[in-house]
Amino acid sequence: MPAVELNNICKSYNDNLVVNNVSFTVAQGEIFGLIGPNGAGKTTTIRMVMDITKPDSGEINVLGESLSEDTKNRIGYLPEERGLYKKLTVLESLTYLASLKGIKPRLVNSRAEGLLERVGMLPHKEKKIEELSRGMGQIIQFLVTIIHGPQLVVLDEPFAGLDPVNTELLKEIILELRNQGKAIILSTHMMNEVEALCDRILMIDKGRTILYGELAEIKLRYRNNSIFLEFDGMLGEIEGVVGKRDYGTYVELFLDEETPPRKILEQLVNRGVSVNRFEVSTPSLNEIFLQVVKEE
């Protein structure tokens, strides 16, 4: 049973179609990237998954059913526009928002303290939210998202505004959640983050699906068929290479359709060329996005 299943979802605001016939599924135990530029329709799609906004048409199933109060308790949601009660303490914030997810008060404290310890913020538990730094506040918001042990975690731009240390911390926890079998939807316009974390992706632009599938398969589909090479010695003519770009300290070799990179490496070794770096070029998601948009 997929954790999330969307079929032909459409949503308009003021005659402006912001989500146009979008379909996708998210499996348990995977990190699913919902990516696209700003204004692509990511947040609206997520709000429809969370039943905060109703779709004009289409069908949404979450954890095997239409969204109900019980289902909401099994989802953790970190919205793009987020905040907390400034006058509440860290522990009070976690307690109140966890109780709204159906967690019994006697369980909340131990869970909250466990999570705070995990992120190194236990000493701050009695501090008011307004006394925390922005980054700390964002970490607390993330803890609010997962304190109730959700089966599905929906994160909308989770790394926005975070420093590198906290970004890494969040990535670690996201991977831990995936390893625990949770389904994770990661919505972001920062495509490099998706490449590091996601198993599958849906790329949307102007409300339409432009790419959907396994990240590795998509990258393969859009590969340049080139390699980066750093070497000592003379290259000469290499069979299967149809072009070369010299970057000074290294070169990019463009291969014909039939030649796999392995064949090039074999030829170089046989000629006694000393290879310091051999890297199969794969386009970034950003490049793929630009290419797809250009093609359309």
| Contacting residues toward other proteins, per CB under 8 A | 47, 50, 52-53, 69, 72-73, 75, 77, 79, 81-87, 96-97, 99-102, 141, 144
CA distance 283 to 225: 10
Q: How far is the CB of 93 from other proteins (least distance, A)?
A: 9
Least distance from C-beta 231 to other proteins, angstroms? 53
- Our CB check for other proteins shows the closer of 72 and 219 to be 72
Beta strands in the chain (DSSP E): 4-13, 16-26, 31-35, 57-62, 75-78, 152-156, 183-188, 200-205, 208-214, 226-232, 241-246, 251-255, 274-280
State which amino acid sits at residue 52. I
Nearer to other proteins, 153 or 174 (CB): 153
Q: Given the complex with other proteins, which of 52 and 275 has the nearer CB atom?
A: 52
Task: Give the separation between CA 200 and CA 31, rounded to whole angstroms.
Answer: 7
Residue type, 264: I
Shortest Å distance, C-beta 145 to other proteins: 8
Minimum distance from residue 81 beta carbon to other proteins (Å): 4
Burial bucket for residue 214 (CB in 10 Å: 0-12, 13-18, 19+): middle
Cβ distance to other proteins smaller for residue 77 or 159: 77
Shortest Cβ distance from residue 148 to other proteins (Å)?
9
Min separation Cβ 129 and other proteins, Å = 9
Closer to other proteins by CB, 158 or 261: give it: 158
Detail the DSSP E strand segments found in 31-131.
Answer: 31-35, 57-62, 75-78
Rounded CA-CA distance 242/252 in Å is 11
Give the span between the Cα atoms of 265 and 62, in whole angstroms.
48
CB-count exposure of residue 29 (10 Å: 0-12, 13-18, 19+): middle
162 vs 235 by CB, closer to other proteins: 162
